[in-house]
Chain A
Amino acid sequence: MNSATQELQRWVRFTPQQRLGRFGVYLGVVAAILWALKTIEIIPEFLYDAPEQVVDMGKRMWPIDWAHFWPVVWPALVETMHIAALATLLGLCMGIPVGFLAARNATPIPWVNAIARFILVATRSISTLIWALFFVAMFGPGALAGALAIAFHSIGFIGKMFSEGVEESNRGSIEALQAAGATRMQQIVMGYWPQVQPTFWSVALFRWDINVRESAVLGLVGAGGIGMALNAAIDLIQWDRVALILFTIFCIVIVIEAIVTQIRKRVI
């Protein structure tokens, strides 16, 4: 029992292991940052020059070349939207099956899981621009290469979100179906699918939003869409046209965000 001369009680916020773990992480992060700062090559002259360059660019961007819009930018924009839509659909078609294969509860075969997971990591590590390089070399420049590039890159994200959704779903209904004698396919359609359906819409909308942004950029390597108009304008050093295209991209992104928010409210 506590006496009048009790020792002071100690309050410890973290256990020793926790402290060690946290300290390790801090140490690692600081070391990594210090290394990065030391070894990065930055040419100081360029840095000082920067404000001047930005102002110069700003001056060249104004006034915006609105006349360029209908003849060139609008068709490119439409193509961009097609690319984004198709890429999202294709990505869903390819990514969802891989996602199911990667989920440990839906596919209890470890080596299949491993391969599927590798596919998911690999496809999303390779950025869309790099995928686009391939597809342009294969199918020639144009929107097709762009759509395929984004689709393949999306497989990783879509598949990962799906496999997580499936792994978190309730085993109970699946077991009931199994007990009733359903085939694997039937279990998936009637057991897992209804549970991951909200995830489906969420992922589809999220990915479509991102894919619109990605498709605006692919034109830089010739894969169609508004990026090609951007690339042309930059090559010709027509900054007022560049400004127009940037403005267009900004507007379309905002519009898509608004649409996605509205759909989310109604469907999810």
Chain B
Amino acid sequence: MNSATVTRADFFRPSMAKRIGTLALFVYVIYAFATMGLSGERFAKGLGYGARFLAGFIPPNFTQSDILPGLLESLQIALLSSLIGTLLAIPVAVLAARNLMPAAVSWCARLVIIFCRSFHPVIIAIIAVKAVGFGALAGIIALTFSSVGFVGKLLAEAIEEISLKQIEAVRATGASFMNTIIYGVVPQVMNRFIGFVAYETDSNLRNSTMVGVVGAGGIGGTLFSAFQRFDYDFVAGIILCIIGLVMIGEFLQSWVKKAFHG
């Protein structure tokens, strides 16, 4: 019997590939920062400005009159686009599910979903503003597209993961296509679906505060102009309101999930 000594290196042998990978990453980071023109001096100056901002933020100013209408408009945009987007996403996701549909149909639906997802809502908002003018409608259109993309993709994936055996039995009873979906598919994806919708509504709420920057309604526009006016205390107020709105949204979501769970 060979009594070979076991050395530390046998268990913790550093992987050559990992080392090279980490080194490459390090080199890349330095290179990328260099292309951005970051110098010590620039950084220091920036920090100086940053300090000025922070000083300007305190105390935050909530009193200007257009903060509430702006917030409410953002909320409206978020709610309506989540509703319309989800309603549209459901049939698209069912059509995109490869286990339920023939390849030709599912590919078309997936293309629709990919298209909706590829573009940032702000980009779609720009186009929407051109089409329907400034205001909340452009924002709703933009976020509806992004909702269809988001919920559609996740729902299609959830449908593709269900057990087909349960569906087979329902089909064997002579149930129509819709009845099969209702009894076979829906129970299996319902919980996850509610999670997606909750996340999507939260996402839309956040994004609705942003599309205003390009004129698509909501508090984003107010924020942008306040910033350009150097009204930093107002900016701070708006931001705190946005954070508050998102936190309330999160809180409500957990309530809804509890009411529907199980």
Q: What is the interface of chain A, defined by CB distance below 8 A to chain B?
A: 18, 21-22, 24-25, 32-33, 35-37, 39-43, 46-47, 49-50, 53-54, 57, 79, 82, 85-86, 89, 121-122, 124-130, 133-135, 137-140, 142-144, 147, 213-214, 216-217, 220-221, 224, 230, 234, 246, 249-250, 253-254, 257
Contact = CB atoms under 8 A, between A and B. Distances in A.
Contacts, number: 160
B118 A22 contact: no
Contacts of B220: 127, 129-130
Given A143-B36, A249-B123, A46 B137 contact: yes
A137 B256 contact: no
B23 to A, nearest CB: 15
B135 interface: yes
A127 B35 CA distance: 25
B122 A33 contact: no
Given A86-B29, A254-B118, A130 B223 contact: yes
B72 A216 contact: no
A42 B137 contact: yes
A147 B35 CA distance: 12
Interface of B, helix, strand, loop or mixed by DSSP: helix
Chain A binding site: helix, strand, loop or mixed by DSSP?
helix
A240 B220 CA distance: 28
B224 interface: yes
Given A39-B76, A214-B120, A230-B123, A125 B135 contact: no
A144 B38 contact: yes
20 contacts: A21-B260, A24-B259, A40-B136, A40-B140, A82-B35, A86-B32, A89-B25, A122-B243, A125-B206, A125-B246, A127-B209, A138-B50, A139-B45, A140-B46, A144-B42, A216-B123, A220-B122, A220-B213, A250-B115, A254-B118
Contacts of B247: 121, 125
A137 B136 contact: no
B118 A253 contact: yes
B230 to A, nearest CB: 9
Most chain B beta-carbon neighbours within 10 Å: one of A36, A122, A125: A125
B166 to A, nearest CB: 19
Contacts of A82: 32, 35-36
Given A40-B77, A125-B247, A224-B36, 13 more contacts: A42-B136, A85-B32, A125-B245, A126-B243, A129-B213, A129-B220, A137-B53, A138-B50, A144-B42, A213-B120, A217-B120, A221-B213, A254-B114
Given A22-B259, A217-B123, A249-B118, A143 B35 contact: yes
